[in-house]
Structure 1
Amino acid sequence: MKNSSGDQQQTAATPTTFQNAEAFGLAKVAKSPWQSFILSIFAGAFIAIAFVFYITVTNGSTMGWGMTRFIGGIAFSLGLILVVVCGTELFTSTVLTSIPWAQKKVKTTTQLRCWARVYAGNLVGALLMVFLIMSARMFELNDGQWGLSAMKLAQHKIHHTWSQAFTLGILCNMLVCLAVWMTFATKDILTKSLLMILPVAMFVSSGFEHSIANMFMVPIGIAIHSFAPDSFYVALNLDPQQFADLTVSNFVFHNLIPVTLGNIVGGGVFVGIGFWLVEQGKLTLGTDGASHGTITSRVEPKND
């Protein structure tokens, strides 16, 4: 009897998935700005590495459109796995600070400063990888087909309409944040890693837009177009003017801004605020509601 009571107390003390998500959000804003920024650089580099993996495994594939993208999506999941397992700071999951913000445990200014430094750190990490990949001349792999694939992919991303890029951003970060959300249900590292693979593979293979991944993918296309030697284009029998629209302004205004806003809505609002509303619904259940699943009382918000 004694042991049974102890087990019940231990079970009652176990945090719920929502509580773990809340703690995750609070931990993001609690880090020192310098620590947060450095961890964000790592995360930006990890996502860039994942895109290098994606381009490499899909280049020259004869498996068909769907399977090629699926394999590429599985390869890309390496990025989020590295981010979560290594404890780095990725903007697209950091938007889950919307949960403690909704609970009024985090000020709006504090949250926005956190988002800004993580976003900036991710950009630094992504651009650092652009420099390293260009220095390694990886664009020459597979007789230049690697670089051609990178430019085509980058060019595709800047040709979305604004509303299309925004919507693809929403869809993407719903999947990213749901992948991260599932990791709150376990402490086992291997289980966390496996849980993230399919959601990431789904958003990548479906062409959803991830702002931090694009911080590498479009700039690497721009860099190849701008700095690849003439021999690269000669070997491919390619006119560089075909990719003249690969510019920084096109990237920022036609892709990065709408995709970033979409990522905030998809992860911070649809997932973060969405699950918070579900939790609020649980709190408003009376005794009968708990038994029968109907709301019998309403909790009025407190006045500040």
Structure 2
Amino acid sequence: MSYLKPPEFVAKMIDAGEAKVFMSARDTVLRAYMAGAILALAAAFAVTITVETGQPLVGALLFPVGFCMLYLLGFDLLTGVFTLVPLAWIDRRPGVRLRSVLRNWALVFLGNFAGALTVALMMAVIVTFAFTVDPNAVGQKLGAIGESRTLGYAAHGAAGMLTLFIRGVLCNWMVSTGVVAAMISTSVSGMVIGMWMPILVFFYMGFEHSVVNMFLFPSGLMLHGKFSIADYFIWNEIPTVLGNLVGGITFVGLTLYATHARTGAARNRPTRQNTNMRTKVTV
């Protein structure tokens, strides 16, 4: 059977979190770099499809190819480690400390950002012929995304910040569900199907993913988007990271852990004799 039952895949989640805690800094950063770069390429791919077809659904349908590739290659996204790594600490695995969890998050953030920034620069070169002409339609779209998802939130003040945060929460609820869904199956096809669906939901719904935004916004700045670096961090990246953290650990990691790794006491089943007595009384 290629399907794992919930207690089995939750155990895999905890084991995966523990393994990431003890990974060397070199491997953590390298795997995060490649994850950020591949996801950025997938985002560029999806934006290109959306611009050329005029159908956002088509771009969303195909975007998960990047997520599937990076997962199957064993690379790490910040959204995934937000969900998995704390479980090893909560489960009191030997040697896992809060500082080691924070260390992993910091290294993965840096690696993801470096990878996404690399692709952002490459895409900016492609859509401007090495900055010798104005951005093409894809480049203009990237700039517009940066403006609408920074200044657009800022225009609404506190309500915009709350909206941004909630979109970050919902994003990693879906993305981490995709990570977990890949652990449900032991076959590649099962993993891909499990990952594809929730990633499609998050991308089409326009939820905020911290690593995707590490590509979209720097590329937008390079392509003359009318927003600043401060706008990007204050009105997108920082609230998105916090929302992704809350969404992943609260709605995926802790809920699965609480009900499948640390289950509550089961209610006593009625004995056959008690059942018969109730039946007689009822009659």
Cross-structure match for 1:278: 259
**Secondary structure of 1:220's partner?**
helix
Cross-structure match for 1:171: 170
Count of residues in Structure 1 that have an aligned counterpart in Structure 2: 257
How has the CA–CA distance of structure 1 residues 151 and 275 changed in structure 2, closer, same or farther, with 3 Å as cutoff? same
Cross-structure match for 1:118: 108
Q: What letter matches 2:86 in structure 1?
A: S
Once the two structures are superposed, residues 119-145 of structure 1 have per-residue CA deviations (whole angstroms, 9 ceiling, x without a partner) of 11000001111121122236899x821
Mapping 1:62-211, distance limit 5 Å: 62=54, 68-96=55-83, 97-105=85-93, 106-137=96-127, 144-158=136-150, 159-160=152-153, 161-211=160-210
Give the gaps of 5 or more residues in structure 1. Answer: 1-11, 63-67, 226-242, 292-304
* 1:34 aligned residue (26, 36, 41): 26
**Secondary structure of 1:120's partner?**
helix
Cross-structure match for 2:237: 256
Is the CA contact 1:98–1:269 (under 8 Å) kept in the aligned structure 2? no
Is the CA contact 1:169–1:263 (under 8 Å) kept in the aligned structure 2? yes
Cross-structure match for 1:230: none
Q: CA deviation at 1:289?
A: 6.5
TM-score (ref. length: structure 2)? 0.84
* 1:52 aligned residue (44, 50, 53): 44
Alpha-carbon distance between aligned partners in 1 of 2:260 and 2:208, rounded to the nearest angstrom: 29
Q: CA deviation at 1:26?
A: 1.1
Q: What letter matches 2:102 in structure 1?
A: L
How has the CA–CA distance of structure 1 residues 290 and 206 changed in structure 2, closer, same or farther, with 3 Å as cutoff? farther
Is the CA contact 1:93–1:267 (under 8 Å) kept in the aligned structure 2? yes
Q: CA deviation at 1:60?
A: 3.7
**Secondary structure of 1:109's partner?**
helix
How has the CA–CA distance of structure 1 residues 138 and 71 changed in structure 2, closer, same or farther, with 3 Å as cutoff? farther
Once the two structures are superposed, residues 221-280 of structure 1 have per-residue CA deviations (whole angstroms, 9 ceiling, x without a partner) of 11011xxxxxxxxxxxxxxxxx43x21100000000000000000002221111112135
Once the two structures are superposed, residues 12-39 of structure 1 have per-residue CA deviations (whole angstroms, 9 ceiling, x without a partner) of 9x97111111111112112111111111
How has the CA–CA distance of structure 1 residues 289 and 35 changed in structure 2, closer, same or farther, with 3 Å as cutoff? farther
**Secondary structure of 1:130's partner?**
helix
Once the two structures are superposed, residues 81-136 of structure 1 have per-residue CA deviations (whole angstroms, 9 ceiling, x without a partner) of 12211100111001121211211222110000000000110000011111211222
Alpha-carbon distance between aligned partners in 1 of 2:267 and 2:169, rounded to the nearest angstrom: 37
Alpha-carbon distance between aligned partners in 2 of 1:258 and 1:290, rounded to the nearest angstrom: 50
Q: CA RMSD in A?
A: 2.6
Identity across matched positions, percent = 26
